[in-house]
Chains A and B, each alone.
Chain A
Amino acid sequence: MSKHELIRMRFSSEVLFIDIAQEVVQKVLENLKVLEDEIFWVCLAVREAVINAVKHGNNFDSDKYVEFVVEIRGEQLRIEVMDEGAGFNIDDVPDPLSDENILKPSGRGIFYIRSFMDNVDYEVIQPAGTRLVMLKKLTIPAGERA
């Protein structure tokens, strides 16, 4: 039977918890012996997802919470990040690679998330908020698989 791990966290919208969420995923992936480079890029995607929830979703409002779920099934990583913000339409997010956006100070987070994860899905949830689900097939050396 393949390995199954599940971590659920709920935290207020503070910068500190961005670091903590990233570190949790890093520890989980290190424990699974995932390739070092892959850990770096996946953790960056996780960081960007939580930044978006804390900053753009909940607007650093410490009365609003972020739900964060990390699930491993075999070599499949699933991360879920939910905020309590106003929600947004993913199609309205500007392309950071367009000439007119290159010098904008923000707007790269979702691009990085999509670059480093296999599947990324955003959904507006009721009564308020956005749910991001992202998947990644992990690269675990054959001798290290559970």
Chain B
Amino acid sequence: MNVNVRKVEQVAILDLTGRVVIGEALYDFRNTVRDMLNEGFTQILLNMENVTYLDSSGIGELVNCYTLVSTQGGAVKLVKAAEKIGSLLQMTKLLTVFESYKNEREAIASFVKS
């Protein structure tokens, strides 16, 4: 998995690419989230468009990210999750935790409102 960061207004957009699965790359993701918080970005949008696979360890790291950011008064949302990835999150009720959007503009606008 690779993580690329873009900053749009007050939102840090993390473009995740590849397989979000058990392994060292999950630590890179966690560190990137911490870096964003250290820079003062508490509104995090995870762009899932190029995520090709997700397992329970990857899901666990998304949950860690949510908890970490929430404790700092921020929010983590998802955009462009593929159907099967959405299904996995739905099955374990995580779409009640993560707001999920189909397009980036709508997702960014939702942070301003929240």
Q: Please list the residues of chain A having a beta carbon within 8 angstroms of any beta carbon in chain B.
A: 15, 18, 40, 44, 47-48, 51, 55, 96-97, 102-106, 108-109, 111-112, 115
Question: Complex Cα distance A47/B57, Å?
Answer: 11
Asked whether B92 lies within 8 Å of A15 as measured between CB atoms, the reply is no
- Cα A103 to Cα B69 in complex, Å, equals 13
Number of A-B contacts (CB under 8 A): 48
Using a CB–CB distance below 8 Å, which chain B residues touch chain A?
Answer: 21-23, 55-57, 59-61, 63-64, 66-67, 84, 88, 91-94, 96-97
Given known A-B contacts A18-B22, A47-B55, A48-B55, A96 and B92 have beta carbons under 8 A apart = yes
Task: Give the residues in chain B near A115, CB-CB below 8 Å.
Answer: 91
- Min Cβ gap B97→A in Å is 6
Q: Do A102 and B93 have beta carbons less than 8 Å apart?
A: yes
- Cβ 8 A contact of A112, one of B22, B23, B88: B88
Cβ of A105 and Cβ of B63 under 8 Å apart? yes
A116 to chain B, nearest CB (A): 10
Q: Nearest chain A CB to B35's CB is how many angstroms away?
A: 20
30 contacts between A and B (CB under 8 A): A15-B23, A18-B22, A40-B84, A44-B88, A47-B21, A47-B55, A48-B55, A48-B56, A51-B55, A51-B57, A97-B92, A97-B93, A102-B93, A103-B66, A104-B63, A105-B60, A105-B61, A105-B64, A105-B67, A106-B56, A106-B57, A108-B56, A108-B59, A108-B60, A109-B56, A111-B91, A111-B92, A112-B88, A112-B91, A115-B91
Interface hub of A97, A108, A109, A112 (most chain B Cβ within 10 A): A108
Q: Which residue of B lies closest to A43 (CB)?
A: B53
Q: Are A51 and B56 in contact (CB under 8 A)?
A: yes
C-alpha gap A51/B91 in the complex (Å): 19
Question: Complex Cα distance A51/B60, Å?
Answer: 13
